[in-house]
Amino acid sequence: MTALLPTAGSRPAPPPARPARTRTPLAGDAILLTVGFSVVVVVALWLAAGGLQDLLAGPGPGFTSAGRITGLVAADLLLVQVLAMARVPWAERAFGQDRLARWHRLLGFTSFSLMLAHVVLITIGYAVSAHAGVLPELWNLVWTYPGMLLATAGTVALVMVVVTSVRAARRRLRYESWHLLHLYAYLGVGLALPHQIWTGTDFVSSPAARAYWWTLYAAALGAVLVYRVGLPLARTLRHQVVVSRVVEEAPGVVSLHLRGRQLHRLRAKAGQFFIWRFLDGPGWSRGHPYSLSAAPHRNMLRITVKDLGDGSRRLADVRPGTRVLLEGPYGALTSDKRTRTGTTLLASGIGITPLRALLEELPPGATLIYRAGNEADLVLHAEIDALAAGRGDRVAYLLGPRAADGSWLPASWGHVGEAGALLHLVPDIRSQDVFVCGPEAWTDAALAALAAAGVPDAQVHVERFTY
């Protein structure tokens, strides 16, 4: 079985088309403007404190001033990235967790590089001014300046986080291990920044600088405490979510049905995900992001999980009645993103789960293209067929081994071409919204095929299964 597509004659007439809506400005532009504005403020405060004059005053003051501005911008970006990943609801809805995570990664590596430059430049500047060696002066800074021991410990924590965030290192770590290590970023930020308050020239000499930095510190700390700690606890206590039943969907794949109080007040949408913690014993503190695999109902949610060896295996043994701590809902892969009347869904592997849920909330007549290794790998297969038959959707199952590295197609479709397969399956795909979800490499290949087929970027909506 390669593709299952009803003929045009067997497809029921679609409902009246919903008018296309006007898109808001690109989320990436909004994030870039926010980051740019914060950096401009920091540079302006540095200039107002005589930073440029010091930069041109000679080797000692020049290195020190360069160290100040790199440290200030590093601190600013560190705090901005904490805000970006604090899971503030309006930011999640506007930008989506996927895009925020990419910006978090970019800001993280940039701020870390600037932080290292800050350490090197400040040490050289102080050493030149004191006519001392660089290493003795570094030792003197660490042991005699207020807050520097804390800053050193914070730097070590941030180094550990950055090293384990490099793509090659992440592939070797289980999700739980990576997530636990990544939490040390909060410790690193908390320890690395206080020395700026106690000894930083730009902080202690300017009321405007103090107002800016205290506001940014308070915003970052407040966002973490409210949205990463307070709101999840409040929602957990309010909704009292427990496991209702566990259903084996296929070898290594289980669905967890979850019941709770007034779950509609979570305002969850099909296509979104939660961070789940199942309070069933050791390991409960490790949160995992799983998408809803069915549209949310008033008192019931469902997730479908594949055993990927990152802690997901234990969910098959979770017992009914187990209490659940949840964070969310997160993600922007929802029907609200639609800009056109027609819709195509592209899924691979367990990436089918949010799209299966999304299918329930879309107008009838959508097209689902589902890529899997073989028929046994199709998750929720019977459910999808029944749902599509009742709604008049079209479904294509693309089965078999991959055509080649970097392809989103099975080998049996290799002769058609990456973009040609899309145009064959959905001739009018250029005028449709396309929702994509699957493993990272497959998603990249599918996005490249969509671009080659001429689908505008504004009509492509993505959720990547990565961390």
- Residues 399-435 have pLDDT tens digits of 988 877 778 999 888 788 889 999 999 999 999 999 9
pLDDT for residue 15 is more than 50 = no
Average pLDDT, the chain: 82
Taking every pair of Cα atoms in the chain, the longest distance, rounded to a whole number of angstroms, is: 87
| pLDDT at 169 (0 to 100) | 57
Residue 150's pLDDT band, with cuts at 50, 70 and 90, is confident
Residues 324 and 278 sit within 8 Å (Cβ to Cβ) = yes
Same domain, residue pair 386 and 293 = no
The strand ranges marked E within 75-209 are none
Q: Write down the pLDDT at residue 177.
A: 62
Same domain, 427 and 299: no
pLDDT at residue 85 is higher than 90: no
H/E stretch holding 288 reads: strand 288-291
CATH of the domain at 306: 2.40.30.10
Last-in-domain residue among 192, 212, 235: 235
Distance CA 163, CA 169 (A): 7
Does some domain include residue 99?
A: yes
Q: How many residues does the chain have?
A: 467
Residue 243 has pLDDT above 60, yes or no: yes
Residues 241/301, Cβ–Cβ less than 8 Å: yes
Does 461 map to a domain?
yes
pLDDT for res 18: 37
Alpha-carbon distance values, 391 to 289, 360, 361, 370 (Å): 29, 9, 11, 17
- What tens digit of pLDDT does each residue of 199-234 get? 666 666 778 888 888 888 889 889 889 988 899 999
Q: How confident is the model over 23-36, as a mean pLDDT?
A: 63
In a domain, 67, yes or no: yes
Full-model pTM: 0.75
Greater confidence (197 vs 377) lies with: 377
Looking at 208, 235, 262, the residue that finishes a domain is 235
pLDDT attached to residue 142: 79
Same domain, 322 and 367: no
Give per-residue pLDDT as tens, 291-309: 999 999 989 999 999 876 6
Bridging pattern class, strands 324-330 and 273-278: antiparallel
Q: Residue 381 is part of which domain span?
A: 8-21+338-465
**Residue reference for tokens 């789940």:** 276
Q: What local confidence, expressed as pLDDT, does residue 202 receive? A: 64
Most confident segment among 83-92, 146-155, 344-353:
344-353
Mean pLDDT, to the nearest integer, of 30-40? 83
* Contacts for 296 with CB less than 8 Å, ≥ 6 apart: 263, 264, 266, 268, 269, 270, 357
392 has a pLDDT exceeding 70: yes
Report percent pLDDT > 70 for the chain.
Answer: 84
**Residues 316, 358 share a domain:** no
Q: Where is pLDDT greater, at 363 or 82?
A: 363
Same domain assignment for residues 317 and 344: no
